[in-house]
Amino acid sequence: MYIYTADEMKEIDEKTIGGEDGKSLELMEKAAKSIYNVLSDRITGKKKHKQVLAVCGKGNNGGDGLALSRLLGNDGFNIRVLMTAGEKELKRDTSVELKRLEISTDNVYYLGSSSRELLDQIIGDSDFIIDAIFGTGFKGKVDGELSDIMLKINDSKATVVSIDIPSGLVGNNGRVYGNAIKADFTVVVDSLKTGNLLGQAPDYNGEIIVGEGIGLDKSQASPDKRLLSGKTAGKMKTRRSSGHKYDFGSLAIAGGSIGMTGAPLLSAKSGLGSGCGLSTVLIDKEAYAYCNSPWPEVMIKPYANEVEFEKLLERATAAVFGPGMGMDEKYDKMMIKALKRDIPIVVDADGIYRLNKARDQLVLKDKNLIITPHLGEMAKLFRVKTEDVLDDPIYFVKSAVDCYNAVVVLKGPCTVIGAKNELWFYYKPNSGMACGGSGDVLSGIIGGLCAQGYETLEAAKKGVVIHGTAGEFARAEKNEWGMCAGDIINNIYKGIEPLV
Ligand SMILES: NC(=O)C1=CN([C@@H]2O[C@H](COP(=O)(O)OP(=O)(O)OC[C@H]3O[C@@H](n4cnc5c(N)ncnc54)[C@H](OP(=O)(O)O)[C@@H]3O)[C@@H](O)[C@H]2O)[C@@H](O)CC1
Ligand SMILES: [K+]
């Protein structure tokens, strides 16, 4: 499934319309019909004669809401409409849809000219609220009375259905700067937009359902963004029954410092969980003294200097560099040693900040490099604020791909994987994954897959899916509060199963 930015969608829309009279209205009708079809599967059926309130804005999203209301009205629902803009402010097609609806109902209210009591009453006694205030054309912040109305809708008992995107979310990046609608369902028109997945979108979407296509002409759009799932991650390679441990690769994890010895251990154990034959933590000898592993299957080897470190790397078929390493400058030399080796390397956590220095000393071209930053690490890598990355995560992922010739995994509720000319979005929000060690588990899985011979992008895609699925199983066992990194590790095998 392809994903577009709101700006790309606008271009697609304009290309499809191509100046043809009536075409944009036809698209609006198709959008409404597609949303109606989704709703008739989910909520209409047995629930006719219920109260529906459609809250509609002046743009095309409002027009979609009005056309949908007409279809629901024909179906036996009691429709009321709250317009958030005056008749004269409406876009042309939205104005046409309002006139079409007014043929069958008088229940049209206007935000500026209805009393607050009346508005509270129609919000309070609705069974369903259609949120068609703003779509992907929204920018900035909602304020004034509309902002209060949004909160009232969020507090209501009604099932809230957002059209295309919850109103108040910015279409390109899913950011929310004021209040926004919290939906039970978001029915996306035709194709997912980046704003449906990124930023704060997971807190507002409810369940996302993508409606059937409305016949948009995407022939000139650049299809570089896709949804990552168990299906698109591809299958695991079969394992040779006669293979021995060296056939399944040897992963080295360079990391750990005093007080942070658990991070590389989590990575190492996760590498084994993903199927690699051997997993070894390479740790500074001072920190080694504090290293207490619960896993005897993980080897732990201390080094005193970069020469010893390099020696220990010799048998590794892939490495993870950074978990729990700390900021000591002495590790810069180890990073150069690791990057000079001709093996895939996952640079994570405290390794990421060092990439700038390494880039000055090494040509990173043709390296098998994977970088796995979270938002804060990406911001540090580019010396910008976290807010800047949130504003345009796609830009930063693409920039990191280009700067470091790497596969980049920007971790978050929607993880974005970037490689040359392709971006993959893995949208499986799970707040239980936001816990210490979760990232170490991911880098270990990806490293473990690289050690077994998977290409970097393939390893990143599979690793993200395995990690996310394992997290879902951990949540099912322990809930989002109780689960921790160890629970994700315990479920890695369940994350692998759908890919076998
Ligand atoms: N192919 C497609 O994509 C199709 C798209 N379709 C539908 O169209 C939707 C996109 O429609 P859209 O472009 O008309 O924008 P939409 O989001 O309805 O309204 C934005 C309006 O709000 C305003 N506004 C903005 N910011 C604001 C603020 N902070 N505070 C207050 N006002 C603000 C802004 O006004 P302006 O600032 O420009 O004066 C503008 O008028 C899309 O989500 C989908 O539902 C389908 O119909 C068919 C095919
Ligand atoms: K909306």
Query: How are strands ordered across the β-sheet holding 406-410?
Result: 225-227, 422-427, 414-419, 406-410, 369-372, 345-348, 318-321, 250-254, 278-284, 299-303
- Look up the ipTM and state it: 0.96
Query: Is the per-residue pLDDT at 168 higher than 60?
Result: yes
Give the closest ligand to the alpha carbon of residue 133: 2
| Cross-strand pairs, 132 | 56
Atom of ligand 1 nearest to the CA of 63: 47
**Is residue 163 lining ligand 1, measured as CB closer than 6 Å?**
yes
Q: What is the CATH number of the domain that holds 388?
A: 3.40.1190.20
**Is 46 a residue whose pLDDT tops 60?**
no
CB 137 less than 6 A from any atom of ligand 1:
yes
Percent of the chain residues topping a pLDDT of 70: 98
* Domain end point (choices 171, 199, 221): 221
Tell me: do 259 and 294 sit in the same domain: yes
Token look-up 């509060």 returns 481
What does the pLDDT look like over 63-115, one tens digit per residue? 999 999 999 999 888 999 999 999 999 999 999 999 999 998 889 999 989 89
What span, in angstroms and rounded, lies between the C-alpha atoms of 284 and 254?
9
**Residues forming a β-bridge with 273:** none
Same domain, 343 and 195: no
With tokens 């690490």, the residue in question is 377
CA distance to 25, 28, 124, 183, per residue, from 3 (Å):
23, 20, 36, 21
The residues, ordered by sequence, that sit 6+ positions from 232 with a Cβ below 8 Å of its Cβ are 226, 424, 461
Neighbouring residues of the ion ligand 2, judged by CB less than 5 Å? 61, 131, 162-163, 167
Atom of ligand 1 nearest to the CA of 12: 1
- Could you tell me the two tokens for 320? 């993870």
Ligand minimally distant from the alpha carbon of residue 26: 1
Are 214 and 238 within one domain?
A: no
Phi/psi at 74 (5° precision): -60, -25
pLDDT at 364: 65
Dihedral (CA of 115, 116, 122, 125) sign: negative
pLDDT reading at 41 higher than 80: no
CA distances 195 to 4, 204, 221, 414, Å, are 9, 11, 17, 11
3-state secondary structure of 370: strand
Domain check: are 287 and 187 in the same one? Answer: no
Three-state SS for 308? helix
Ligand 1 neighbourhood includes 23 CB (under 6 angstroms): no
If asked whether residues 269 and 211 sit together in one domain, one would say: no
Each residue's pLDDT tens digit, 392-447 = 999 999 999 999 999 999 999 999 999 999 999 999 999 999 999 999 999 999 99
pLDDT tens across 453-475, in order? 999 999 999 999 999 999 999 99
Report whether residue 34 contacts ligand 1, using a CB cutoff of 6 Å: no
- CB-based burial of residue 400 (10 Å sphere; 0-12 exposed, 13-18 middle, 19+ buried)? buried
* Whether residue 208 sits in one domain with residue 287: no
Indicate whether 94 and 147 sit together in one domain: yes
Question: Of 221, 250, 279, which residue sits at a domain end?
Answer: 221
Task: For residue range 302-327, list pLDDT tens digits in order.
Answer: 999 999 999 999 999 999 999 999 99
Residues forming the annotated binding site?
Answer: 60-64, 131, 135-141, 164, 167, 263, 324, 374, 411-415, 439-440
> How does residue 19 score in pLDDT terms, banded at 50, 70 and 90?
confident
Asked if the model's pLDDT at residue 499 lies above 60, the reply is yes
Rounded Cα distance, 424 and 411, in Å: 12
Find, among 65, 83, 61, 57, the residue nearest to 142 by Cα.
Answer: 57
Same domain, 173 and 259: no
**End of a domain among 186, 221, 256?**
221
Distance CA 298, CA 190 (A): 48
What is the model's pLDDT at position 158?
A: 95
Report whether residue 58 contacts ligand 1, using a CB cutoff of 6 Å: yes
Pair (290, 307) in one structural domain:
yes
Q: Residue 78: phi, psi to the nearest 5?
A: -85, 110
CA of 42 from ligand 1 middle (Å) equals 26
In this prediction, residue 45 carries a pLDDT of 60
Distance of CA 236 to the CA centre of its chain: 23
Its sign, for the CA torsion 270, 271, 275, 278, is: negative
Q: Which domain holds residue 202?
A: 3-221
Please tell me whether residues 210 and 260 are part of one structural domain: no
pLDDT digits (tens, 9 = 90+) for 337-384: 999 899 999 999 999 988 888 877 776 666 799 999 999 999 999 999
CA gap 454, 228 in Å, rounded: 17
Cβ-based burial of 171 (10 A; exposed 0-12, middle 13-18, buried ≥19): buried
Q: Find the range with the poorest average confidence among 233-247, 264-278, 363-377.
A: 363-377
Q: Cα–Cα distance between 240 and 243 in angstroms, integer?
A: 5
User: Two tokens at 20?
Assistant: 């043809």
Q: Can you give the CATH number for the domain in which 17 is found?
A: 3.40.50.10260
**What is the per-residue pLDDT for 100?**
96
pLDDT score for 366 = 67
What per-residue confidence (pLDDT) applies to 245? Answer: 93
Q: What are phi and psi of 130, to 5 degrees?
A: -90, 120
User: 245 and 208 share a domain?
Assistant: no
Question: Is pLDDT larger for residue 41 or for residue 392?
Answer: 392
Q: Strand 422-427 relative to strand 414-419: parallel, antiparallel, unpaired? A: antiparallel
What's the chain's average pLDDT?
95
pLDDT at 47 over 70: no
Predicted confidence (pLDDT) at residue 54 exceeds the cutoff of 60: yes
497 vs 500: CA distance, rounded Å:
5
Q: Is 91 in the pocket of ligand 1 (CB under 6 A)?
A: yes
Query: What is the structure's pLDDT at 365?
Result: 67
Pick the ligand that lies closest to the CA of residue 185: 2
Q: Angle 209-215-220 (CA atoms, 0-180°, nearest 5)? A: 105
Count: domains in the chain = 2
98 and 198 inside one domain: yes
Three-state SS at 367: coil
Residue with CA at minimum distance from ligand 1 atom 15: 137
